[in-house]
């Protein structure tokens, strides 16, 4: 016999069935707009100024919760920041490995810096394909990029003058006055209203400028417009190839390279000298805060050493007389050297110059590895190198990293236009 089962629950108490096409989904987390570069009240800055301001604010108690652990994370982020934009890739796993902290500790201290206005999101990481907007094949996650910022309450505390508001605000530097007033003793007034009183009221203070233009280089060579232009081009070409000098600006490097340009040093020789100077100073493990000052000190030391080892011009040697004409054997040797080799393998002057200016001549495998590692955090080095030596030489030096960067024509054209407008 077939039985009929009746539910004991009334119709009104039954749970509703889920809809077939549910429109309610998990809402994607988005960053606080006040912590992004488009809406932050803090102004942008570079890594050096950011570190100085953050340490000063932490010592004054303006950053609640700032500890030695926060300082370790700050040091890692500052070490990979771009010196022009102040942007740095977050790379949470790398920060954890370098500091030895857990994921919760790192994210907590970074959240503290964002809330205090010392960091802002320039780009929020996601699973979106970062290669697709560039027209490149493959897949790569969009990385999280932080920007170094200084909050307005710190500027108000230290008395900084800021033009504008928000991320694009500019700091107006406080430069010392270049003028001084010569004090005059008080005018003695005799007999009430006289000529002395009128002259004293109309007398203007005497001003004298203390600024004098520099006419000599660090070691005493004369400064000319041709040497300045060559030093500027040399600094622009050498800076992407030598890692430890990249903290100095092009103007600072141009100034210290004037001495080597005045001595008619070629560009490969200057680059090799800078590489050796960095190795002597321990550049792979240590980087100077002001490399141009280190170069200036090395130039003074080299000039002092050359002055001590130089032979006085008034000393005459028995075996050498500058006034004597070369003998027949010496002249014949010069003639033989100027003759082309018998096998016909001649080398023109253009080939010699191109070989001398070859950027790969003095670079070892270790140096190439260092340059490619620097290009991963600062793509502008690849663009600068390509602007000077061409895209083919940049790809040969930086490898696949340069090929990925230069594959975006818009970025390459924009950077070339920026280099043309840049003043030193």
Domain count, the chain: 3
For the chain, give the percent of residues with pLDDT over 90. 29
pLDDT band per the 50, 70, 90 thresholds, residue 316? very low
In this structure, the answer to whether residues 48 and 126 fall within a common structural domain is yes
Q: Looking at 111, 144, 163, which one is the last position of a domain? A: 163
Helix (H/G/I), strand (E/B), else coil: 295: helix
Quick check: is 110 in a domain?
yes
Is beta strand 126-129 parallel, antiparallel or unpaired with respect to 141-142?
antiparallel
Whether residue 405 is contained in a domain is answered as yes
Helix extents (H) in 116-186: 152-158
Do residue 157 and residue 47 come from a single domain? yes
In terms of Cα–Cα distance, which of 180, 262, 254, 157 is closest to 219? 262
Q: Is residue 350 in a domain?
A: no
Cα-only R_g, the chain: 33
Do 301 and 370 belong together in one domain?
no
* Boundary of a domain, candidates 128, 148, 163: 163
What six digits make up the tokens of 32? 């606080």
Domain that holds residue 403: 364-421
For residue range 318-367, what is the model confidence (pLDDT) as tens digits? 444 445 566 676 677 767 766 665 554 444 444 434 433 454 445 666 67
Instruction: Enumerate the H helices of 67-137 as residue ranges.
Output: 68-79, 92-99, 103-115
> Is 8 contained in some domain?
no
Residue 86 has pLDDT above 70, yes or no: yes
pTM of the model: 0.39
pLDDT in tens, 355-389: 334 544 456 666 777 777 777 777 777 887 887 88
33 vs 194, higher pLDDT: 33
Task: Find, among 120, 102, 122, the residue nearest to 111 by Cα.
Answer: 120
Average pLDDT over residues 3-29: 50
Helix (H, G, I), strand (E, B) or coil at 318: coil
Q: Of 163, 183, 201, which closes a domain?
A: 163
Residue with the larger pLDDT of the pair 6 and 375: 375
pLDDT digits (tens, 9 = 90+) for 132-176: 777 778 777 778 999 999 999 999 999 899 999 999 999 887 654
């Amino acid at each position: 016999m077939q039985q009929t089962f009746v539910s004991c629950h009334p119709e009104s108490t039954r749970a509703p069935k889920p809809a077939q096409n549910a429109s309610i989904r998990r809402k994607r987390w988005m960053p606080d707009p006040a912590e992004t570069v488009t809406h932050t009240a803090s102004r942008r800055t570079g890594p050096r100024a950011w570190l100085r301001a953050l340490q000063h604010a932490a010592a004054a108690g303006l950053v609640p919760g700032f500890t030695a652990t926060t300082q370790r994370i700050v040091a890692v982020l500052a070490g990979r920041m771009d010196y022009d934009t102040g942007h740095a890739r977050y790379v949470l796993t790398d920060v954890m490995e370098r500091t030895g902290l857990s994921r919760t500790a790192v994210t907590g201290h970074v959240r503290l810096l964002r809330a205090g206005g010392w960091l802002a999101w320039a780009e929020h990481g996601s699973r979106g394909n970062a290669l697709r907007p560039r027209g490149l094949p493959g897949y790569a996650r969009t990385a999280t990029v932080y920007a170094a910022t200084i909050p307005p309450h710190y500027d108000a505390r230290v008395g900084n003058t800021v033009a504008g508001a928000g991320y694009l605000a500019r700091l107006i530097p406080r430069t010392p006055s270049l003028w001084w007033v010569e004090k005059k003793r008080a005018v003695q007034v005799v007999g009430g209203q006289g000529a002395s009183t009128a002259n004293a009221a109309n007398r203007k203070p005497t001003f004298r400028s203390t600024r004098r233009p520099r006419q000599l280089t660090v070691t005493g060579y004369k400064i000319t417009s041709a040497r300045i232009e060559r030093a500027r081009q040399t600094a622009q070409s050498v800076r992407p190839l030598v890692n430890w000098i990249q903290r100095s600006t092009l103007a600072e490097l141009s100034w210290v390279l004037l001495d080597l340009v005045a001595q008619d040093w070629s560009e490969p020789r200057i680059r090799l000298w800078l590489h050796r100077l960095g190795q002597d100073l321990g550049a792979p493990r240590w980087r100077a805060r002001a490399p141009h000052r280190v170069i200036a000190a090395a130039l003074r030391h080299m000039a002092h050493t050359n002055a001590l080892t130089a032979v006085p011009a008034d000393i005459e040697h028995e075996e050498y007389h500058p006034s004597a004409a070369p003998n027949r054997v010496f002249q014949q040797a010069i003639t033989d050297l100027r003759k082309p080799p018998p096998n016909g393998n001649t080398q023109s002057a253009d080939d010699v110059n191109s070989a001398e200016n070859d950027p790969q001549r003095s670079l070892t495998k270790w140096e190439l590895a260092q340059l490619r590692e620097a290009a991963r955090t600062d793509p502008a080095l690849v663009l600068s190198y390509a602007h000077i030596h061409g895209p083919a030489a940049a790809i040969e030096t930086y490898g696949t990293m340069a090929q990925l960067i230069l594959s975006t024509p818009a970025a390459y054209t924009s950077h070339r236009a920026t280099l043309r407008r840049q003043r030193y």
